[in-house]
Protein backbone atom coordinates (compact mmCIF):
# COMPACT_ATOMS: atom_id res chain seq x y z
CA UNK A 1 0.00 0.00 0.00
CA UNK A 2 2.82 2.41 0.82
CA UNK A 3 4.41 1.65 -2.56
CA UNK A 4 1.11 2.41 -4.31
CA UNK A 5 0.90 5.75 -2.51
CA UNK A 6 4.48 6.53 -3.59
CA UNK A 7 3.71 5.65 -7.22
CA UNK A 8 0.56 7.79 -7.04
CA UNK A 9 2.65 10.76 -5.91
CA UNK A 10 5.26 10.27 -8.61
CA UNK A 11 2.70 9.82 -11.39
CA UNK A 12 0.73 12.91 -10.28
CA UNK A 13 3.94 14.93 -10.27
CA UNK A 14 5.15 13.73 -13.68
CA UNK A 15 1.73 14.34 -15.26
CA UNK A 16 1.64 17.87 -13.90
CA UNK A 17 5.17 18.63 -15.04
CA UNK A 18 4.40 17.40 -18.55
CA UNK A 19 1.22 19.47 -18.71
CA UNK A 20 3.10 22.48 -17.32
CA UNK A 21 5.60 22.25 -20.20
CA UNK A 22 2.69 22.00 -22.65
CA UNK A 23 1.11 25.08 -21.04
CA UNK A 24 4.23 27.11 -21.85
CA UNK A 25 3.86 26.15 -25.50
CA UNK A 26 0.07 26.69 -25.39
CA UNK A 27 0.43 30.25 -24.07
CA UNK A 28 3.36 31.13 -26.31
CA UNK A 29 1.96 29.50 -29.46
CA UNK A 30 5.02 27.29 -29.82
CA UNK A 31 5.09 23.95 -31.70
CA UNK A 32 1.82 22.46 -30.40
CA UNK A 33 -1.38 21.71 -32.35
CA UNK A 34 -3.62 24.10 -30.41
CA UNK A 35 -2.67 27.37 -28.74
CA UNK A 36 -4.26 30.58 -27.50
CA UNK A 37 -3.70 32.03 -30.97
CA UNK A 38 -4.97 29.10 -33.06
CA UNK A 39 -7.61 29.72 -35.69
CA UNK A 40 -10.99 30.31 -34.09
CA UNK A 41 -13.51 27.46 -34.32
CA UNK A 42 -16.47 28.99 -32.48
CA UNK A 43 -17.18 32.68 -32.93
CA UNK A 44 -19.01 35.32 -30.93
CA UNK A 45 -20.36 35.31 -27.38
CA UNK A 46 -20.42 31.50 -27.12
CA UNK A 47 -16.63 31.28 -27.37
CA UNK A 48 -16.27 33.96 -24.70
CA UNK A 49 -18.72 32.20 -22.37
CA UNK A 50 -16.91 28.86 -22.77
CA UNK A 51 -13.56 30.46 -22.01
CA UNK A 52 -14.84 32.35 -18.99
CA UNK A 53 -16.42 29.15 -17.70
CA UNK A 54 -13.10 27.31 -18.04
CA UNK A 55 -11.22 30.05 -16.16
CA UNK A 56 -13.85 30.07 -13.40
CA UNK A 57 -13.64 26.27 -13.13
CA UNK A 58 -9.84 26.51 -12.77
CA UNK A 59 -10.15 29.24 -10.16
CA UNK A 60 -12.78 27.43 -8.10
CA UNK A 61 -10.86 24.14 -8.10
CA UNK A 62 -7.60 25.84 -7.16
CA UNK A 63 -9.13 28.00 -4.46
CA UNK A 64 -11.53 25.54 -2.84
CA UNK A 65 -9.17 22.54 -2.73
CA UNK A 66 -6.48 24.69 -1.09
CA UNK A 67 -8.69 25.71 1.83
CA UNK A 68 -8.25 24.01 5.21
CA UNK A 69 -11.98 23.39 5.64
CA UNK A 70 -12.05 21.43 2.37
CA UNK A 71 -8.99 19.38 3.35
CA UNK A 72 -10.65 18.51 6.67
CA UNK A 73 -13.90 17.59 4.91
CA UNK A 74 -12.20 15.04 2.64
CA UNK A 75 -9.65 13.79 5.20
CA UNK A 76 -11.56 10.51 5.72
CA UNK A 77 -11.34 9.84 1.97
CA UNK A 78 -8.04 11.50 1.06
CA UNK A 79 -5.49 11.15 3.91
CA UNK A 80 -2.84 13.80 4.49
CA UNK A 81 -0.05 11.90 2.74
CA UNK A 82 -2.00 11.88 -0.55
CA UNK A 83 -3.87 15.19 -0.18
CA UNK A 84 -1.28 17.31 -1.98
CA UNK A 85 -0.77 14.79 -4.77
CA UNK A 86 -4.55 14.67 -5.24
CA UNK A 87 -4.62 18.46 -5.46
CA UNK A 88 -1.84 18.37 -8.04
CA UNK A 89 -3.62 15.68 -10.07
CA UNK A 90 -6.93 17.56 -9.98
CA UNK A 91 -5.18 20.76 -11.07
CA UNK A 92 -3.53 18.87 -13.92
CA UNK A 93 -6.83 17.47 -15.18
CA UNK A 94 -8.54 20.87 -15.02
CA UNK A 95 -5.61 22.45 -16.87
CA UNK A 96 -5.81 19.78 -19.58
CA UNK A 97 -9.55 20.46 -19.92
CA UNK A 98 -8.94 24.21 -20.10
CA UNK A 99 -6.40 23.87 -22.91
CA UNK A 100 -8.43 21.24 -24.79
CA UNK A 101 -11.74 23.11 -24.63
CA UNK A 102 -10.35 26.64 -24.99
CA UNK A 103 -11.89 28.60 -27.86
CA UNK A 104 -9.42 30.93 -29.63
CA UNK A 105 -10.96 34.31 -30.44
CA UNK A 106 -9.85 36.27 -33.50
CA UNK A 107 -8.81 39.88 -33.41
CA UNK A 108 -5.43 41.49 -32.81
CA UNK A 109 -5.19 43.71 -29.73
CA UNK A 110 -1.55 44.53 -30.30
CA UNK A 111 1.25 43.27 -32.52
CA UNK A 112 4.85 44.30 -31.92
CA UNK A 113 6.82 44.33 -35.16
CA UNK A 114 10.06 45.95 -34.03
CA UNK A 115 12.66 43.13 -33.92
CA UNK A 116 14.22 44.40 -30.69
CA UNK A 117 10.82 44.75 -29.07
CA UNK A 118 9.90 41.21 -30.08
CA UNK A 119 13.14 39.84 -28.62
CA UNK A 120 12.60 41.73 -25.36
CA UNK A 121 9.04 40.41 -24.99
CA UNK A 122 10.09 36.81 -25.69
CA UNK A 123 12.91 37.21 -23.18
CA UNK A 124 10.47 38.43 -20.51
CA UNK A 125 8.14 35.56 -21.43
CA UNK A 126 10.95 33.07 -20.82
CA UNK A 127 12.07 34.79 -17.63
CA UNK A 128 8.52 34.57 -16.34
CA UNK A 129 8.38 30.78 -16.67
CA UNK A 130 11.88 30.38 -15.20
CA UNK A 131 10.76 32.51 -12.26
CA UNK A 132 7.73 30.29 -11.73
CA UNK A 133 9.88 27.16 -11.56
CA UNK A 134 12.62 28.80 -9.49
CA UNK A 135 10.07 30.01 -6.94
CA UNK A 136 8.95 26.45 -6.24
CA UNK A 137 12.52 25.51 -5.27
CA UNK A 138 12.93 28.60 -3.08
CA UNK A 139 10.24 27.15 -0.79
CA UNK A 140 10.15 23.35 -1.10
CA UNK A 141 9.48 22.07 -4.60
CA UNK A 142 8.84 18.46 -3.56
CA UNK A 143 6.53 19.38 -0.68
CA UNK A 144 4.57 21.77 -2.91
CA UNK A 145 3.88 19.01 -5.44
CA UNK A 146 3.22 16.23 -2.92
CA UNK A 147 6.32 14.09 -3.45
CA UNK A 148 7.71 14.77 0.02
CA UNK A 149 4.46 13.69 1.68
CA UNK A 150 4.23 10.40 -0.21
CA UNK A 151 7.94 9.70 0.32
CA UNK A 152 7.75 10.23 4.08
CA UNK A 153 4.75 7.91 4.19
CA UNK A 154 6.68 5.34 2.14
CA UNK A 155 9.66 5.36 4.54
CA UNK A 156 7.35 5.44 7.60
CA UNK A 157 8.36 8.88 8.82
CA UNK A 158 6.08 11.49 10.32
CA UNK A 159 5.33 14.50 8.16
CA UNK A 160 6.57 17.87 9.43
CA UNK A 161 5.55 21.19 7.92
CA UNK A 162 8.13 23.08 5.91
CA UNK A 163 9.34 26.17 7.76
CA UNK A 164 8.91 29.41 5.86
CA UNK A 165 12.20 31.15 5.06
CA UNK A 166 12.82 34.50 3.39
CA UNK A 167 15.25 33.28 0.75
CA UNK A 168 16.37 35.33 -2.25
CA UNK A 169 13.32 36.84 -3.97
CA UNK A 170 11.11 36.20 -0.96
CA UNK A 171 13.07 38.86 0.90
CA UNK A 172 11.47 41.53 -1.30
CA UNK A 173 8.25 40.07 -2.68
CA UNK A 174 5.86 37.54 -1.18
CA UNK A 175 4.67 35.95 -4.42
CA UNK A 176 7.47 35.63 -6.99
CA UNK A 177 5.69 32.67 -8.58
CA UNK A 178 2.66 34.84 -9.32
CA UNK A 179 4.91 37.55 -10.71
CA UNK A 180 6.42 34.96 -13.05
CA UNK A 181 2.98 33.89 -14.26
CA UNK A 182 1.91 37.48 -14.90
CA UNK A 183 5.07 38.11 -16.94
CA UNK A 184 4.49 34.92 -18.93
CA UNK A 185 0.82 35.66 -19.62
CA UNK A 186 1.29 39.28 -20.72
CA UNK A 187 4.74 39.48 -22.35
CA UNK A 188 3.77 38.37 -25.82
CA UNK A 189 4.49 40.07 -29.18
CA UNK A 190 1.06 39.30 -30.64
CA UNK A 191 -1.90 39.69 -28.28
CA UNK A 192 -5.09 38.28 -29.75
CA UNK A 193 -8.56 38.82 -28.30
CA UNK A 194 -8.58 35.23 -27.04
CA UNK A 195 -5.16 35.62 -25.41
CA UNK A 196 -6.38 38.84 -23.77
CA UNK A 197 -9.37 37.02 -22.27
CA UNK A 198 -7.03 34.33 -20.93
CA UNK A 199 -4.54 36.84 -19.49
CA UNK A 200 -7.23 39.00 -17.89
CA UNK A 201 -9.03 35.99 -16.42
CA UNK A 202 -5.86 34.48 -15.00
CA UNK A 203 -4.77 37.85 -13.60
CA UNK A 204 -8.05 38.19 -11.72
CA UNK A 205 -7.62 34.65 -10.38
CA UNK A 206 -4.03 35.37 -9.31
CA UNK A 207 -5.03 38.50 -7.39
CA UNK A 208 -7.91 36.68 -5.70
CA UNK A 209 -5.69 33.68 -4.97
CA UNK A 210 -3.10 35.92 -3.32
CA UNK A 211 -5.79 37.41 -1.08
CA UNK A 212 -7.02 34.02 0.16
CA UNK A 213 -3.52 32.58 0.46
CA UNK A 214 -2.31 35.48 2.59
CA UNK A 215 -5.34 35.21 4.86
CA UNK A 216 -4.55 31.54 5.38
CA UNK A 217 -0.86 32.14 5.99
CA UNK A 218 -1.54 34.93 8.46
CA UNK A 219 -3.93 32.66 10.34
CA UNK A 220 -1.55 29.68 10.43
CA UNK A 221 1.81 31.43 10.95
CA UNK A 222 0.58 34.41 12.94
CA UNK A 223 2.59 37.48 13.90
CA UNK A 224 5.73 36.40 12.04
CA UNK A 225 3.84 36.48 8.74
CA UNK A 226 2.03 39.76 9.42
CA UNK A 227 5.41 41.36 10.17
CA UNK A 228 6.75 39.87 6.95
CA UNK A 229 3.80 41.43 5.10
CA UNK A 230 4.68 44.86 6.45
CA UNK A 231 8.23 44.85 5.11
CA UNK A 232 7.67 43.23 1.72
CA UNK A 233 5.57 43.78 -1.40
CA UNK A 234 3.00 41.34 -2.73
CA UNK A 235 4.34 41.17 -6.27
CA UNK A 236 6.23 44.30 -7.31
CA UNK A 237 8.36 46.26 -4.78
CA UNK A 238 7.19 49.86 -4.23
CA UNK A 239 4.11 49.24 -6.41
CA UNK A 240 2.05 46.20 -5.29
The reply to whether 236 falls in a domain is no
The reply to whether 47 falls in a domain is yes
Q: pLDDT of 77-111, one tens digit each?
A: 989 899 999 999 999 999 999 999 999 898 899 99
Q: pLDDT of 134-159, one tens digit each?
A: 999 988 899 999 999 999 999 989 88
Q: What is the 3-state secondary structure (H, E, C) of the chain?
A: CHHHHHHHHHHHHHHHHHHHHHHHHHHHCCCCCCCCCCCCCCCCHHHHHHHHHHHHHHHHHHHHHCCHHHHHHCCCCCCHHHHHHHHHHHHHHHHHHHHHHCCCCCCEEEECCCHHHHHHHHHHHHHHHHHHHHHHHHCCHHHHCCHHHHHHHHCCCCCCCCCCCCCHHHHCECCHHHHHHHHHHHCCCEEEHHHHHHHHHHHHHHHHHHHHHHHHHHHHHCHHHHHHHHHCECCCCCCC
The reply to whether 156 falls in a domain is yes
The reply to whether 198 falls in a domain is yes
The reply to whether 163 falls in a domain is yes
Name the average pLDDT for the chain. 91
**What percent of the chain is modeled with pLDDT above 70?**
99
Q: pLDDT of 41-65, one tens digit each?
A: 777 789 999 999 999 999 999 889 9
Instruction: Give how many domains the chain has, as a whole number.
Output: 1
The reply to whether 237 falls in a domain is no
What domain range includes position 87?
2-231
Q: pLDDT of 165-219, one tens digit each?
A: 778 888 889 999 999 999 999 999 999 999 999 999 999 999 998 988 888 888 8
Amino acid sequence: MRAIVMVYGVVSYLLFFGVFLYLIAFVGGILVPKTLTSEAGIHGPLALLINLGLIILWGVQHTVMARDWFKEAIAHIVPHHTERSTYVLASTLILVLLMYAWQPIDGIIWQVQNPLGVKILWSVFGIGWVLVLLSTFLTDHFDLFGLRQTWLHFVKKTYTSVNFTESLLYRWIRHPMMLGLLLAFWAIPVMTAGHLVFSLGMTVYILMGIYFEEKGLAASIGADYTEYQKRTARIIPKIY
